[in-house]
Amino acid sequence: MSLTETAPEVPAWRLLLGYVRPHRRALFGGALLALATGATGLLLPLVARGLIDDLSHDRPIGRALLGMAALVVTNAAVGALGSYVLRRTAESVVLGARRTLSSYLLRLRIPAVDRSEPGDLMARITSDTTLLREVTTDSLVGLGTGGLTLVATVVMMGLVDMVLLGVTLGVVLCAGTVLGLIVPRINRASRRAQDAVGAMGASLERTLGALRTVKASGAEHREERNVHAAAEESWRQSVRAARWSAAAGNTAGLAMQVAFITVLAVGGARVATGAVHVGTLVAFLLYVFYLMSPIQQVVGAVTQYQSGAAALARIQEALRLPAEPAAPPAPLPAPDAEPASLAFEDVRFRYADDLPYVHHGMTFAVPARGLTAFVGPSGAGKTTVFSLIERFYEPEAGVISVDGLPLDAWELPRLRSAIGYVEQDAPVLSGSLRDNLLLGNPEAGEGELTRVLGTTRLDGLVARLPNGLDTLVGHRGTKLSGGERQRVAIARALLRRPRLLLLDEATSQLDAVNEAALRDTVADVARTTTVLVVAHRLSTVTSADRIVVMDAGRVRAVGTHRELVEADPLYAELAATQFLATAG
Ligand code: ADP
Ligand code: MG
pLDDT for position 304: 87
Count the Cβ atoms, other than its own, within 10 Å of residue 445: 10
Does residue 536 line the site of ligand 1, with CB under 6 A? Answer: no
350 and 314, same domain (yes or no) = no
Task: Say whether both 243 and 101 belong to one domain.
Answer: yes
Query: What pLDDT does residue 407 have?
Result: 96
Q: Which atom of ligand 1 is nearest to the CA of 385?
A: 6
**pLDDT at 44 (0 to 100):** 73
Rg (CA), the chain: 35
Beginning with the edge strand found earlier in the chain, give each strand of the sheet holding 554-559 in spatial order: 419-422, 500-504, 530-534, 370-375, 546-551, 554-559
Any atom of ligand 1 within 6 Å of the Cβ of 356: no
209-237 burial, b if ≥16 CB within 10 A, otherwise e?
eeeeebeeeeeeeebeebbeebbebbeeb
Measured in Å, residue 505 CA sits from the centre of ligand 2 at 7
Give the SS3 label for residue 578.
Answer: coil
248, exposed or middle or buried, with CB in 10 Å at 0-12, 13-18, 19+?
buried
347-401 per-position pLDDT tens digit: 999 999 999 999 999 999 999 999 999 999 889 999 999 999 999 999 999 999 9
Q: Are 372 and 366 in contact (CB under 8 A)?
A: yes
Phi, psi of 134 (to 5 degrees): -65, -35
| Residue 483 placed within a domain | no
Same domain, 265 and 363: no
DSSP states of 368-398? SSEEEEEE-STTSSHHHHHHHHTTSS--SEE
CB 351 less than 6 A from any atom of ligand 1? yes
Q: Is 360 helix (H, G, I), strand (E, B) or coil?
A: strand
Average pLDDT, the chain: 90
Q: Is the pLDDT of residue 56 over 90?
A: no
Task: Please tell me the number of the ligand nearest to residue 379's CA.
Answer: 1
Ligand 1: nearest atom to the Cα of 504: 2
Using DSSP, state whether 445 is helix, strand or coil: coil
The predicted-structure confidence for 298-326, as pLDDT tens digits, reads as follows: 988 988 898 899 999 999 999 999 999 99
Whether residue 186 sits in one domain with residue 102: yes
In a domain, 32, yes or no: yes
Cα separations (Å) of 364 from 293, 413, 472, 484?
Answer: 75, 24, 42, 33
Confidence of residue 2 (pLDDT cuts 50, 70, 90): low
Q: How far is CA 192 from CA 118, 119, 235, 569, in A?
A: 18, 16, 10, 58
CATH, residue 413: 3.40.50.300
Measured from the CA of 584, which atom of ligand 1 is nearest? 4
Q: Is the pLDDT of residue 583 over 50?
A: no
ipTM of the complex: 0.99
Ligand 1: nearest atom to the Cα of 114: 23
Regarding whether 385 and 302 lie in a shared domain, the answer is: no
Mean pLDDT confidence for 46-69: 82
Residue 578 lies in a domain: yes
Nearest CA residue ID for atom 27, ligand 1: 351
Phi, psi (degrees; rounded to nearest 5) at 9: -85, 125
Residues 544 and 406 in one domain: yes
- Alpha carbon 304 to its chain centroid, in Å, reads 23
Residue 205 lies in a domain: yes
What is the crossing angle of helices 24-56 and 142-160, to 10°? 50
Element spanning 480, H or E: none
- Mutational pocket test of ligand 1: of 351, 378, 551, the residue with most ligand atoms within 8 Å of the beta carbon: 351
Among residues 180, 340, 200, the alpha carbon closest in space to that of 255 is found at: 180
Q: Is 358 exposed, middle or buried (0-12, 13-18, 19+ CB in 10 A)?
A: buried
| Span 94-140, pLDDT tens digits | 999 999 999 999 999 999 999 999 999 999 999 999 999 988 888 88
* Domain-located, residue 484: no
Q: What is the mean pLDDT of residues 566-576?
A: 89
d(CA 332, CA 353): 35
CB of 385 closer than 6 angstroms to any ligand 1 atom: no
Q: How far is CA 96 from the centre of its chain?
A: 12
Residue 57 three-state SS:
coil
Q: How confident is the model at residue 195 (pLDDT cuts 50, 70, 90)?
A: very high
The total of structural domains in the chain comes to: 2
Tell the residue nearest (CA) to atom 22 of ligand 1.
Answer: 351
Q: What is the mean pLDDT of residues 75-83?
A: 90
Contacts of 49 (CB under 8 A, 6+ apart): none
Q: What angle do CA 439, 440, 442 make, to 5 degrees?
A: 65
Spatial contact of 531 and 357, defined as CB atoms under 8 Å apart: no
CA angle 205, 209, 215 (to 5 degrees): 115
Of 350, 358, 360, 549, best ligand 1 pocket probe by most atoms within 8 Å of the beta carbon: 358
**409 and 304: one domain?**
no
Q: Which residues pair with 94 in a beta bridge?
A: none
- The predicted model gives 201-210 an average pLDDT of 91
Whole-angstrom distance, CA of residue 65 vs CA of residue 69: 6
Q: Which residues contact 571 (CB under 8 A, 6 or more apart)?
A: 375, 547, 549, 556, 557, 564, 565
CATH number of the domain enclosing 46: 1.20.1560.10
Bridge partners for 532 per DSSP:
372, 502
Residue 460, domain member (yes or no): no
Residue ending a domain, among 319, 352, 371, is 319
Which residue has a Cα nearest atom 18 of ligand 1? 351
Q: Ligand 1 atom 6: the closest Cα is on which residue?
A: 381
The sign of the dihedral angle between the CA atoms of 109, 320, 331, 2 is negative
Q: What are the residues whose beta carbons fall under 8 Å from the beta carbon of 133, sequence distance 6 or more? A: 87, 90, 91, 93, 94
**CA 379 / ligand 1 centre spacing (Å):** 6
Q: Report the nearest-CA residue for atom 15 of ligand 1.
A: 379
Residue 387 near ligand 1, beta carbon < 6 Å = no
Instruction: Identify whether residues 406 and 544 lie together within a single domain.
Output: yes
Q: What does the pLDDT read at residue 506?
A: 85
Coil, strand or helix: which one is 111?
helix
Cα 421 to Cα 504: distance, rounded to the nearest angstrom: 8
Using one digit for the tens of pLDDT, what is the confidence trace for 19-53? Answer: 999 999 999 999 899 888 877 776 777 777 778 88
Residue 492 CB coordination number (10 Å): 25
Pairing mode, if any, of strands 546-551 and 554-559?
A: antiparallel
- Nearest alpha carbon to residue 370 among 503, 543, 494: 543
Angle, alpha carbons 35-38-40 (nearest 5°): 110
Helix (H) or strand (E) holding 532, with range, is: strand 530-534
Is 149's C-beta closer than 6 angstroms to any atom of ligand 1?
no
Contact between 81 and 37 under an 8 Å Cβ cutoff? The reply is no
Could you say which DSSP state residue 477 is in? G
Q: Is the CB of 362 under 6 A from ligand 1?
A: no
pLDDT(7) > 50: yes
Which of 280, 303, 319 is the last residue before a domain boundary?
319
* CA 41 from centre of chain: 43
pLDDT tens digits, residue range 458-467? 999 999 999 9
Q: Which helix (H) or strand (E) holds 349?
A: strand 342-349
Per residue in 242-285, pLDDT (tens digit) is: 999 999 988 988 998 999 999 999 999 999 998 888 888 888 88
Distance CA 485, CA 432 (A): 13
Ligand nearest to the CA of 424: 2
Task: Mark whether 69 and 185 lie in a shared domain.
Answer: yes
Q: pLDDT (tens digit, 9 = 90+) per residue, 423-448?
A: 998 788 889 999 999 999 998 999 99
Domain extent, residue 367, equals 343-418+528-584
**DSSP 8-state assignment for residue 108:** B
428 inside domain: no
C-beta neighbour count of 53 within 10 angstroms: 12
For 261, list phi and psi in degrees, rounded to 5.
-65, -45
Q: If pLDDT is split at 50, 70 and 90, which confidence band does 336 have?
A: confident
Say yes or no: 247 and 98 in one domain: yes
Residues 300 and 356 in one domain: no
> Among residues 246, 4, 243, 220, which one has the least CA distance to residue 107?
4
* Domain contains 520: no
Tell me the pTM: 0.85
pLDDT number for residue 102: 96
Instruction: Determine which residue's CA is closest to atom 25 belonging to ligand 1.
Output: 351
- Whether pLDDT at 225 is above 90: yes
The gap from C-alpha 537 to its chain's centroid, in whole angstroms, comes to: 41
Whether residues 112 and 159 share a domain: the answer is: yes
